[in-house]
């Protein structure tokens, strides 16, 4: 129950991300991606799994079917219970991630305490779409 093997290697191999000191543009991207992640996580926290899938990136929705996503979150996320505290741990802008096409990503990690799991790390990875909108492309709990 400690892991949600959702999506692709980009989240599982976050440590291998190409990182650098953020520029002002990178910092703005991080803030926009952070907002997108928080809106998306609110859907997941509220049990709105179908909506979280529908608002995710094309990369996400092509990697996992909606019904599979709903089943996975029902099986893995619901037993954790409600979120007690979610605290931003890190956010890192990247243009390349293992197993993902080049683009603009922000790898965001939260230290999260759930009702039935005191300590977890959630990794949410929004990506910038061609339409200029940040959408979640990966989610992982450990």
State the Cα–Cα distance between residues 111 and 117, nearest whole angstrom. 11
pLDDT of 43-92, one tens digit each? 999 999 999 999 999 999 999 999 999 999 999 999 999 999 999 999 99
Q: Can you give the residue ranges of every domain in the chain?
A: 24-141
Please identify which residue in the block is written with the tokens 């230290």.
111
In sequence order, which ranges of 46-118 are alpha helices (DSSP H)? 49-54, 58-63, 66-76
Domain 24-141 has CATH 3.30.450.20: no
Please identify which residue in the block is written with the tokens 């650098």.
20
The pTM score is 0.83
Neighbours of 110 (CB within 10 A): 21
What is the SS3 assignment for 5?
A: coil
pLDDT at 25: 61
């Amino acid at each position: 129950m400690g892991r949600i093997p959702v999506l692709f290697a980009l989240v599982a191999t976050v440590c291998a991300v190409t990182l650098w000191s953020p520029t002002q543009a990178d910092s703005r991207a991080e803030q926009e991606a952070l907002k997108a992640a928080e809106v998306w996580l609110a859907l997941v926290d509220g049990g709105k799994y179908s909506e979280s899938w529908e608002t995710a990136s094309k990369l996400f929705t092509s990697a996992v079917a909606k019904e599979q996503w709903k089943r996975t979150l029902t099986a893995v996320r619901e037993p954790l219970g409600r979120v007690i505290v979610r605290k931003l741990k890190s956010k890192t802008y990247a243009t390349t991630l293992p197993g993902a096409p080049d683009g603009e990503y922000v790898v965001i990690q939260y230290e999260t305490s759930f009702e039935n799991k005191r300590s977890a790390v959630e990794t949410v990875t929004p990506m910038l779409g061609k339409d200029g909108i940040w959408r979640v492309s990966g989610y992982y709990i450990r």
